Amino acid sequence: MQSRGSLRSGGLLATGGALHESEQMRLQKEVDTFTQKLEHEKRRLLIIEEQIKQVTEELLERDRSVK
């Protein structure tokens, strides 16, 4: 028979009726969240860089047509 203070299930620890994540699970979630945000920002940067490239090409084309 297990006591309520030591029940472990899937990285959760029941202590006095409250569930707490293990430190490892908490850190993994933090890393996953950071990685998702980083990937989102990388995609955003690629889009902005592509927009800059297009605008630069349009500007060069306009400059050529004015000369």
Is the pTM higher than 0.75? The answer reads no
The pLDDT, as a whole number, for residue 8 is: 52
Any idea where the domains of the chain sit in the sequence? 23-67
Residue 11 pLDDT level (bands cut at 50, 70, 90): low
Task: Please identify which residue in the block is written with the tokens 């029941």.
Answer: 14
User: What's the CA gap between 30 and 36, in Å, rounded?
Assistant: 10
The pLDDT, as a whole number, for residue 35 is: 98
The pLDDT, as a whole number, for residue 62 is: 95
User: What's the CA gap between 67 and 62, in Å, rounded?
Assistant: 9
Mean pLDDT throughout 10-21?
Answer: 63
User: What's the CA gap between 65 and 67, in Å, rounded?
Assistant: 6
Q: What is the pLDDT of residues 48-61, one digit of tens each?
A: 999 999 999 999 99
